[in-house]
Amino acid sequence: MIGFVRHFVFLVTVVLALSVSTPQSQAVDIDLLDTITPATSTGDNVIAVGERNAQSFMTTGTGSTISQVDLSLKKAPGAAGQYSVSIYSMNSVSSEPDTRLSYVAQNQNQSALSTTYGTVSFTGLSIALDPSKNYYIVLEDVTLAAMDWQYWDTTSSGISPPTYWMAYSSGWISTASTDYPAMMKVMATTVPEPSAWAMAALAIGALGARWRRWS
């Protein structure tokens, strides 16, 4: 009877330890960058055919899988054509956009854009990125006559701008991010910190040692 009670107590203790010690979810939804919600609009980053604008963001310490990207965009009246949105790596020397890692949206038709600013959402993404790294969201005007990416006033909004903003025509031109930081929101899922799993393993190990003493 004593042995049965010990078995029962052990099983209950394991269940309680797992519920407390292990991460409650294997993925957490976060905003890596949000300059749309709190920002105050200031003006336009005008992009012509063949040109690109890039705004930086950074991943968390455990890596991030991009799930959604929102941009504040508009098109010129009467403009028709296509545009693309991509994620680029950052060059470790020049800090310029380096390599396209994935399309967020390729050759999008202008019909989704209005002639006044609105938030355009690209959902259903699953783009895995390395931890603690800077990346770029790059907006490219493919064949659209003209389009604008809204930027915000960092002073009145009270939020810090991302590290880098760049424009591309015949080459990348770096501009201080406090001048023309683009309005965008980058959402991602992240995995739990490794320390959370380590604590769970230690708790289960301690219970195992106690079980051996009981046996």
Looking at 3.30.750, 3.30.70, 3.30.390, 2.60.120, the CATH number of the domain 28-191 comes to 2.60.120
**What's the pLDDT score for residue 197?**
45
Q: Classify residue 82 as left (phi > 0), alpha (psi -120 to 50) or beta.
A: beta
Residue 115 pLDDT > 60: yes
Place of tokens 């063949």: 50
**What's the pLDDT score for residue 146?**
84
Q: What is the pTM of this model?
A: 0.75
Burial class (CB in 10 A: 0-12, 13-18, 19+), 69: buried
Cβ atoms < 10 Å from Cβ of 200: 17
Domain boundaries, given as residue ranges, for the chain: 2-22+197-214, 28-191
Q: Which among 57, 1, 50, 2 is positioned nearest to 30, based on CA atoms?
A: 57
Residue 87 pLDDT > 90: yes
